[in-house]
Structure formats: structure tokens, C-alpha cells
Amino acid sequence: MVDYITVIGGGLAGSEAALQIANSGIKVKLYEMKPTKFSEAHCNENFGEIVCSNSFKSNLITNACGLLKEELRMLGSKLIEVADKTAVPAGQALAVDRESFSKEVTRLIEENENIEIYREEITTIPKEGIVIIATGPLTSEGLSKEIVNITGEDKFYFYDAAAPIVEKESIDMNIAFYGDRYGKTGDYSYINLPMNKEEYIYFYNELINAESSVLHEFEKREIFEGCMPIEIMAKRGIDTLRFGPLKPVGFVDPRDGSKPYAIVQLRQDNNKATLYNIVGFQTNLKFGEQKRVFSLLPGLKNANFVKYGVMHKNTYINSTKLLDETYNLKSDSRIFFAGQITGVEGYVESISSGMVASLNAIRKYKCQEKIIYSEKTMIGCLAKYISMPNDKFQPMNANFGILPELDVKIRDKKTRYKTLADRSLAYFK
């Protein structure tokens, strides 16, 4: 057995993993292709480069990402420590000076005597020793082919579009109703939001005038080929949506027996039926605009959006089939994956996966049993979410909707989230 662990990728997940392993006293070979080669989204040579927003989201434990950060602090996350150290004023959120953040991550890695850095592209997985693959959503073509070979899958899972996901408990069921077309009321996989003409026209006008996000140039070339954003589709004509994803045919509003002018369907998104996605609402609207416009839909006035719609190039492996709850490859226990390539989405979520993968890589190196964190924690339920069989799987952020429900029903959202957070932190304490 080799006397080191290999980490491929120096992003957030890979950097966290390398530092955790090195600080445990085990040697690390860290491979990062920058600056020899850059992906189309990266531009500086540092480890832990932040490509998009500089926000790590809320610090409040009543926010899912805030709870995840607090769990990581309790476990000794090096990157969350750096984020706290390089924070800039952002109210209740943790935002960082992105340049200072990545420079500090780079300093910690370069000064760690247990980390040997290789600034080169790697296209083959080492045949010996424990390996963590943390190459992100824009994994190079050469390594992508190698991953296809070792996983036995014929392709990566690409997604260029995803619809918003809402928490079921936040849908107003006094307006919404279960059922499929033509009276299949026993079907609980769909929730329907009926709209009258006035509601539809108001929503339509707000939708076509809402502000969209700016795509990278390389994304613009590919995004709209197989999937049309709902705001673009709407601009083709006021009735386009009513003959498409909002088609009302086969529905009756159970409140008064009338036929809806348009109808929005929400499809069950997880096995526990706590999350529903808005069918056909793949979108490139800015997140704030999604919250504002989609909350105009009947029944979603107070909806809690656990994930907003996205339109961008991304790649991830079929983790629900390939990985266990420690991000370990089932078919080859010496290989772990971490970061967005696993189907977790977000900065803190990537760090979390790097933490879990590295701590279990350390234990494997020492011939110790795996650590599987409780699904009642945000760290644990994220790992479980990406490793459970799920035909509807798509990348997921931390959210309270994937945590197991409480034994007692609590209607007030803030109180419910605080109780869920207290339950999680008690586990780590």
C-alpha cells in the first residue's frame, strides 16, 4: 500500500479534503491542472477559487446552509475557518473577499509539509492507493473519459436546465389540489395550481418582464438546444404557455367545479414527498426574480423555494447508483468522489462533501470503520440524498426539506427549522 492519499482537484471540496488528510498526519498528492490548463469558467491560479457569488449564504442556523456551516465548524472545517477569517460585511450572511479567501486557502496548502502539489492535468486515475476525485462540474474531457471507464457508466449525467423546487408544507392546499388529468384524484405525485384568466395574464406579464441571469459565453452556445426557458417560451405569445406546460385540459377546479384557464403542475421530487418541482419551469431568471414572480402563482404565495431554477452547463456522476453515504465508490472502495461532481450544489455543500470523503479516506487508510453521519444532520442528509436510489435525481443544495420530519408537527416555519437545527447540533455536540 502506498503511504499517501491522492486528491485530484484543488477547488473547494478538494482543498478541504487535502487539508483534512494532511492535518491528520497522512501525506497527500494534490493534483490541480491550473495554471497549465484552465476550465472555461476559471481564471486565477489559486486553490479554492470562487467562480460566481462571494456569498456562502446565511449564518443563521434557521437557514439550511447556515446550519450546514455550523456543523462544519464543529467538525473543524479548514475552509469555513478561512471564510470566517476573510469575511466582509454582509448582514446575517457569510460573504468573503474572494481574492483573500483563495489566497489564504493556497497559503495553507502550500505551507503544509504533508501536501505535495502537482500543477498538471491528470487524465488517468492512479492504480494504487486511496484517491479522492474532486474535479468539479467542468471536469476536463480526458478525465471525464476515465471516470466513465471506472464507473462503468456510458456517460456523465449532464443537466442544462432545472426547474425550481418548493417545500410541500409551504404550498397552500386550500388552493392547490392533488391529481392528474381527467380526474385521477388518487395520484399524489402531482399537485395542481389552477389559474383564472386574470391571474394568468398578470403572471404572464410579470414573467416576460422579469430580469434574467447572464450566462457564460461557453454556456450560451449549448444551453437552449434541448430545453427552452419558460420566460423565453412565454415571449412567443400570450397563449404559448397555455398550449404547453400550463395546458388546463382535463382539469376541474375542485373548489367550484370550474375549468381553469391555465394550470401549473408540481411533481413529487423526493421519496418522502416533502419536495415538489414546478413542471416545465426551467428558467434563467435571477433567483430574486424567481421568488417574486413564481410566488404570484396561486398556492405559492408563501412558498419556500429550497432550490431555484438554473440554466447552465454542469456535469455530475450518477451518485444515487454509484456512491454510498461516505461518497465512496461502491465498485472500488479505494476511490471517493467529492464536490459538485457528486450532485451536491453550492460552495458549502461542496466543502461538506470534501470533509466527509476525506475523513472516511483517512479512516480507510488507517483500516478503521467508516463514519456515516446521522441523516438528522445536514451533512448526513446531503450524503444520504445523493446516495439513495432516485430516478428523479438532480443536483441539490442544503435544505430543510430533505431532513427527516420531527416527531411533533410544528406549523410555524422558524420554530420548526430551529427545532430541526437544535436536533442536528445536539448530535455533533
Q: Would you say residue 63 has pLDDT above 60?
A: yes
Q: Would you say residue 155 has pLDDT above 70?
A: no
Q: Would you say residue 293 has pLDDT above 90?
A: yes
pLDDT for 226 equals 46
Structure-derived torsion over alpha carbons of residues 337, 338, 344, 348, reported in degrees to the nearest 10? 170
pTM more than 0.85: no
Per-residue pLDDT reduced to its tens digit, 371-405: 999 999 999 999 999 999 988 787 889 999 999 99
The runs of H, that is alpha helices, within 60-115 are 64-75, 78-85, 98-110
Per-residue pLDDT reduced to its tens digit, 258-269: 999 999 999 887
Pick from 249, 244, 222: nearest CA to 234: 244
Q: Ranked by mean pLDDT, which of 241-250, 353-362, 391-400 comes out on top?
A: 353-362
In the chain, residues under CATH classification 2.40.30 are 165-307
**Mean pLDDT, residues 113-132 taken together:** 94
pLDDT for 345 equals 87
Assigned CATH class of 4-159+314-428:
alpha beta
Q: Would you say residue 221 has pLDDT above 90?
A: no
pLDDT for 205 equals 97
- Contact, 195 vs 298, CB < 8 A? yes
Q: Which residue has the higher pLDDT, 268 or 314?
A: 268
The runs of H, that is alpha helices, within 235-324 are 287-294, 319-322
Query: Is residue 37 very low, low, confident or very high in pLDDT (cuts 50, 70, 90)?
Result: low
- Per cent of the chain over pLDDT 90 is 64
Q: Which residue has the higher pLDDT, 312 or 229?
A: 229
Exposure string over 56-69, b if 16+ CB within 10 A, otherwise e: bbbbbbbbbbbbbb
Query: Is residue 217 very low, low, confident or very high in pLDDT (cuts 50, 70, 90)?
Result: low
pLDDT for 224 equals 45
- CATH 2.40.30 at 165-307, yes or no: yes
Between the alpha carbon of residue 181 and those of residues 195, 247, 250, 251, 300, the distances in Å are 15, 10, 5, 6, 21
**Residue 67 corresponds to which cell in the numbers above?**
446550519
Least confident of 44-53, 126-135, 362-371: 44-53
pLDDT for 106 equals 96
In the chain, residues under CATH classification 3.50.50.60 are 4-159+314-428
Q: Would you say residue 227 has pLDDT above 80?
A: no
Residue 427 φ/ψ, nearest 5 degrees: -60, -45
